[in-house]
Amino acid sequence: MCGIVGILCSDNCAGMMYNGLEQLQNRGYDSAGITTISEQNNTSEFVTSKFATTEKENALSLLRSHINRHSGDSVGIGHTRWATHGMKVDLNSHPHTDTRNLFTLVHNGIIENYLPLRTMLIGHGYVFKSQTDSEVIVNLLSHLYHTTDTLNNNDVCEYNTKTLDNVIDTIQMVIKKASEMLQGTWALTIISTLTPNTIYVTRHGSPLLISYNDNLAIIVSEKSGFCNKVTKFSCLENNDVCVLTRDVSGGKVLCKTLDNCVYTSIDLARTRDTLILPSQYNHWMEKEIDEQEDAYLRALSLGGRILSTNEVKLGGLEEKKTELLECKHAIILGCGTSYFAGLMGKIYFEQMCNFKTVSCIDGAEFETRNIIDNRTAVFFLSQSGETRDLYRCIKIARDSGCVLVGIVNTVDSQIARNVDCGCYLNAGREVAVASTKSFTNQVAVLSLISCWFSQESFHHNKCTQIIHHVRNLPTHIHRVLNEESVDTTLDSWSKNYFKEQSSCFLVGKGGSLPICYEGSLKLKEVAYIHAEGYSASGLKHGPLALVTHNFPVILFVMDDAHYVKLDSAYEELIGRHGTMCIITNSKTFVNKMLQHDKRNMNNVLYIQEQSEYTAPIVMNICIQKLAYKIACVKGLNPDQPRNLAKVVTVE
């Protein structure tokens, strides 16, 4: 869950690295740092600046004030960190340098066997300055470079290597040997004072992207880090070692890999994102909530994915149409927000499709035993397409002979490249840690996929109903995003009921239950409220014990088959003196409140969307806005909650 940038250029790489790290804060913002190689008087030395985020200042802001230290340097590596091993302090920040001062590296991933390796290296005289697993790797490289008998080909690795090419080859072999000794996941970008015009790159499980031409080489964790400096990039393959070096005679950038692999270039021309927040918004989360009407329309491809009142077209599924229609079972996988979107998809699949079984499983808990047989379609839900807990499921599903379907937002991401087929979310880039528009688009795409399966089974009447509501939903999204009464109600709730609260419940049933879970996650991560989602039928089984005077409960009352139970839950909660905040599309419930409980009418937020398929999406947007407003009232930063990262690339 870290961001990596490496630059090899003609001069002044630090500015480009800083811009890249700024783009990669979605992968972590606990600390940030860069190391460049300075060459003076025929000697090469590392220049490092690295800082941990403090209560007063972001790590990147601290780093920016030290960029001039690296002026003129042409080779460097940078890192933005989400802390896994070691506290959030400067010493644990990357890059890390070995005891002999020969190698510096940045690392994304987790080394599982770092403790025995650390003990071994301490025994050989290596001194550790940090608590990280990453410092073990850089000292291991140094140790292997100096220990010829650990290599199969002893004469390759002599300390006094005579030519630069031999040194590069030696380091390349050392990296390969070190990788064989490591257990876990890693993406490594390495520089050495022995070869000051060279960057070494390798990975195992964690992604790295490379782009280079005659004048410039850039290595990043994800394509946003390229900062529009390139138009194509290549994806480094697992366990390969890539060497990028500058010809000292002509200055030309050269690239070679240990295995001479050929990489496929991917066009970047249509993916030019920027990180400039428009002036009318205070935070990215506010902007991304506000973009959901347009994002939802893009999920429908502006209507291009809907051919008629009872037919959808999903081109991404067509190439595997025969295999998909032969599937008897469906498994939806996701983590966090994507998992809760998957629960909505499970409802759609159960109502619309002919699968014998439909299950939605947290990707972190998915195992082979969850697969009934190879007639199974496995759907991978991810905003980033890089979620490590989900990516590991690809091998499980593929080894079991399943059909793998990606439902991701980021084009050319790891998951997108490794599934059999899929549908992009088209939500646009999300910067805030809390997912908003990607959830909405995941639910939208899942509804379209359920229609696709349904129409192929000749259940056109089912498609007609859901397509009608899917087409009309943008109007209701627009209304809830723009009506002053919605903001007035949510402002009141945030200031009067939640500002001083540390806990609350969200209660629903049926289609609103996944929204309870997703809403509780938003309140946890953005507003720092311990929120829990419960079924209305489950209150009596324990949760009611916590409902006392002024305890806030958000109740979703939908005008569907579960209305009676939700109405009963309201009475139970009022009877325990809970503070009720109600989001409903039921005119029956509103009329009841007007007749019998006018004192609580100010706490009722009525939405006009009546469909059981799509009303939960509108209700969820209300909770997104509430979580954002509570964070602002509390003086919190909703874009970068403490201890979290946007892209979860470690298990």
Q: Are residues 340 and 259 in the same domain?
A: no
Residue 191 β-bridge partners: 104, 199
Q: Which phi-psi region, left, alpha or beta, contains residue 27 (left: φ > 0; alpha: ψ -120 to 50)?
A: alpha
d(Cα 263, Cα 483) in Å, to the nearest integer? 50
Give percent of the chain above pLDDT 90.
73
Q: Is 521 part of a structural domain of the chain?
A: no
Q: Give per-residue pLDDT as tens, 566-585.
A: 999 999 999 898 899 999 99
Candidate list 2, 9, 13, 327, residue with the active-site label: 2
Residues 223 and 343 in one domain: no
Is there a single domain that holds both residue 313 and residue 195? no
Tell me whether residue 12 is exposed, middle or buried, using C-beta atoms within 10 angstroms of its C-beta: 0 to 12, 13 to 18, 19 or more: middle
216 and 321 fall within a common domain: no
Q: Would you place residue 160 in the very low, low, confident or very high pLDDT band (cuts 50, 70, 90)?
A: very low
Alpha carbon distance 11, 16 (integer Å): 10
Token match 């939802």: residue? 296
C-alpha 536/C-alpha 557 separation (Å) is: 10
Q: Say yes or no to pLDDT of 344 above 50.
A: yes
Provide the CATH number for the domain around residue 455: 3.40.50.10490
Concerning whether 451 is annotated as a catalytic residue, the answer is no
Answer yes or no: are the C-beta atoms of 573 and 548 closer than 8 Å. Answer: no
Band (pLDDT 50/70/90 cuts) for residue 433 is very high
Is residue 230 domain-resident? yes
Per DSSP, what are the bridge partners of residue 36? 47, 76
Specify the number of domains making up the chain: 2
Does any domain span residue 457? yes
Of 305, 317, 318, 348, give the one whose Cα is nearest residue 422: 317
> Is residue 399 pLDDT above 50, yes or no?
yes
Which H helix or E strand runs over 105? Answer: strand 103-111
Quote the CA–CA distance of 292 and 301 in Å, as a whole number.
14
Mean pLDDT of 105-126: 96
CA 546 to mean position of chain CA atoms: 33
State yes or no: pLDDT of 6 exceeds 60: yes
**Does 610 or 262 have the greater pLDDT score?**
610
Sign (positive/negative) of CA torsion 603, 607, 610, 612? Answer: negative
| Domain region containing 444 | 280-481
Q: Are residues 300 and 246 in the same domain?
A: no
**Residue 579 domain flag:** no
| pLDDT value of residue 86 | 84
Cβ of 600: how many Cβ atoms within 10 Å? 15
DSSP-derived secondary structure letter, 112: T
- Residue 582 CB neighbours (<10 A): 22
Residue 273 predicted with pLDDT over 60:
no
pLDDT given for residue 259 in this prediction: 52
Same domain assignment for residues 251 and 320: no
**295 and 198 share one domain:** no
Give the residue from 448, 466, 481 where a domain finishes. Answer: 481
Higher pLDDT, residue 191 or 150: 191
Is there a domain that residue 335 lies in?
yes
Report the chain's mean pLDDT, rounded to a whole number.
Answer: 91
**Kind of pairing between the strands at 579-584 and 530-535:** unpaired
| Helix ranges, 311-459 (H) | 315-318, 321-325, 337-352, 388-399, 414-418, 437-456
Structure tokens that stand for 76 in this block: 């460097």
Do 248 and 214 form a contact (C-beta atoms < 8 A)? Answer: no
Residues 264-282, mean pLDDT to the nearest whole number: 67
Q: Nearest CA to 494 among 515, 468, 518, 522?
A: 522
Residue-wise pLDDT tens digits, 196-232: 999 999 999 888 999 998 899 999 998 888 988 888 8
As a whole number of angstroms, the distance between CA 532 and CA 523 comes to 9
What are residue 110's DSSP bridge partners? 185
The label of the residue with tokens 């192929």 reads 456
